[in-house]
Amino acid sequence: MSETVKLAPSILAADFACLGEQVAEAEKAGANRVHVDVMDGHFVPNISMGAPIVQSLRRVTRLPLETHLMISDPDFFLEEFVEAGSDSFLVHWEGNNNLHRTVRRIKELGKRAGVAINPATPATVLEEILPEVDLVLVMTVNPGFGHQHFIHGTLPKIERVRRMIERANLRCEVEVDGGVDEETAPLAAAAGADVFVAGSSIFADNAGVAVAMNRLRTSIAHCSTALRA
């Protein structure tokens, strides 16, 4: 587990009537980046936001905008999202025509590149691409919808990804996305995750964004303390 915990609030669960205000609140509460889920109704059975949302967010936050492209043929949209203000991209191993080319293109555009893998995809598929990326996203739910329950069977895979990175002596983050809350985040942290995407547990908390983020961060910190003890 990394000593540095990073929180990436996912705006998929935000109230879009006051999106700017909620993102500003998350930034003030210490968010490390904003996670933007882009879905096209083909790669996943849902449709969500596009480049105009990124462009709007770019005007109201200084946080890095992490764009999770759950879409077919992400190569066709990279430049559009770069122009809108995206700082990094997550593309899926599944269904990508040429993952290496996509990652290289993201780097050519001057942005951070990450690869995401679904719950049923083994960690071994990352072996060849791992030296090329800045981040691995282990999906802890099947992509496409928010408000899903964390799949505990993904925990051993998080551990395997962390070991692969350490064996290769790479500086690569391990991110988790899906069902992340104060109960599941410590489990993922213990397995080796250091970046936590959280949507409902932050933006749907009745106590507010700041309180929810502090609660989540504290739960992960307690895990870290217990592991060192």
- Cα torsion 19, 21, 27, 28 to 10°: value is -160
Q: Which residue, among 199, 175, 188, has the nearest Cα to 223 in the 3D structure?
A: 188
Rounded to the nearest 10 degrees, what angle do helices 51-58 and 19-28 cross at? Answer: 50
Q: How confident is the model at residue 3 (pLDDT cuts 50, 70, 90)?
A: low
pLDDT at 33: 98
Average pLDDT of the segment spanning 9-16: 95
State the distance between the two ends of the chain, measured CA to CA, in whole angstroms. 14
Q: Please identify every residue annotated as catalytic.
A: 37, 177
Phi and psi dihedrals of 70, rounded to 5?
Answer: -95, 65
Q: Which residue, among 113, 55, 73, has the nearest Cα to 89 in the 3D structure?
A: 113
215: left (phi over 0), alpha (psi -120 to 50) or beta: alpha
Whole-model pTM: value is 0.94
Alpha helices in the chain, H assignment, sequence order: 19-28, 51-58, 78-84, 99-108, 155-167, 185-191, 200-203, 209-228
* Residue range 208-225, pLDDT digits in tens: 999 999 999 999 988 765
Task: Report d(CA 156, CA 188) in Å as an integer.
Answer: 9
Tell me the residue type at 35: H
* Residue range 125-180, pLDDT digits in tens: 999 999 999 999 999 999 877 778 999 999 999 999 999 999 999 999 999 999 99
